[in-house]
Amino acid sequence: MVGKMKQPEKQIWDEFQVIQFLSATHDRRYEALYNLVVKTGMRQVELFGLKWSDVQWHNDTLLVQHQVQRIPRQGWKLLPPKTKVGRQAIKLVDATLQTLRLHREHQEIEKSATSERWKEYGLISSPQK
């Protein structure tokens, strides 16, 4: 009998583990993304689909409007979430917004340093380097 594959049980970190993780990722290239994962529970496909235009600085909100999906024989594509529930607005706390601001500043510096090699996609994850 062929059965359904069992999904591994999700591990939920306690407060100490979260603090350790955020401390270990402080001043790392993707600190802002790690911060978003921990504080919002976003999935990886949503995180890598975030654009700077999705950050609503005026009301401290992040709009989840895209996700990255692998399409067979086409590669990675930026697509809208599969369900309406997937399109959501997430309220961000000041510390997360500040981390995003710093990430954007670092991204702009990196963009200037790589000049003509930089391909602008408007992504927060900035797959450049």
What would the pLDDT profile of 18-76 be if each residue is shown by its tens digit? 999 999 999 888 899 999 999 998 888 999 999 999 999 999 999 999 998 888 998 88
Sign of torsion over alpha carbons 25, 119, 101, 39: negative
**Looking at residue 62, what is its pLDDT?**
94
**Looking at residue 73, what is its pLDDT?**
92
Both tokens of 95, joined, read 């510390």
Which of 43, 98, 85, 39 is CA-nearest to residue 67? 43
**Looking at residue 76, what is its pLDDT?**
87
Q: Say what the pTM is.
A: 0.81
Taking 70 as the threshold, does the pLDDT of residue 114 lie above it?
yes
**For the chain, what is the mean pLDDT?**
87
**Looking at residue 14, what is its pLDDT?**
92
Q: Is 59 exposed, middle or buried, given 0-12, 13-18 or 19+ CB atoms closer than 10 A?
A: exposed
**Looking at residue 129, what is its pLDDT?**
43
Taking 60 as the threshold, does the pLDDT of residue 15 lie above it?
yes
Range with the largest mean pLDDT of 83-87, 112-116, 120-124: 120-124
Dist. CA 22–CA 17, nearest whole Å = 9
